[in-house]
Amino acid sequence: MAIFFTADNGAETYLKCGAVPGTYPTVDFGPTSEENIKAAFEAQRKYMPNGFIRNSQKTCLWCCFVLGRGPLTNSEFYTGWYVITSYDFFAPISECGDVNEKYLAIRNWIKSLPNWKNKPFDVPPNNKLVLCRINL
């Protein structure tokens, strides 16, 4: 079973443009005030009158932390901590902008929606740039 969900900023203007019929609309926000949290969940309720409220930003991190297993890597800032990067959970777009079959599947699903007015563009090439050697 898979649950398809959208993740939009907590403001209603984002949900208005980002919510897709048949998916679970979630809001996405980081540390903020209690007032902003309530406003985000109230906006989410307008697009999902029933069910539980959800801050999608916490989903992957929560699973790794609560289950006590998982990646435990982040070579940039918090090595060995519960901060996962896109290559740890097979994100649709990598850190360098490469797309994979998950991205293409999502894109094709969006293209198949009959009344979706903003059809995805073709995937542009992601040419890599070779930089000269830099001495530090």
Same domain, 81 and 101: no
Same domain, 63 and 49: no
Same domain, 22 and 35: yes
Residue 71 contacts residue 83 (beta carbons within 8 Å): no
Q: What pTM was computed for the model?
A: 0.45
For 84-135, the pLDDT digits (tens) are: 555 556 678 877 788 888 899 989 998 999 988 888 888 888 888 877 887 8
Same domain, 50 and 11: yes
Three-state DSSP state, 80: coil
Number of domains in the chain: 3
Same domain, 1 and 15: yes
For 79-96, the pLDDT digits (tens) are: 454 555 555 566 788 777
Same domain, 3 and 44: yes
Domain containing 76: what range? 59-89
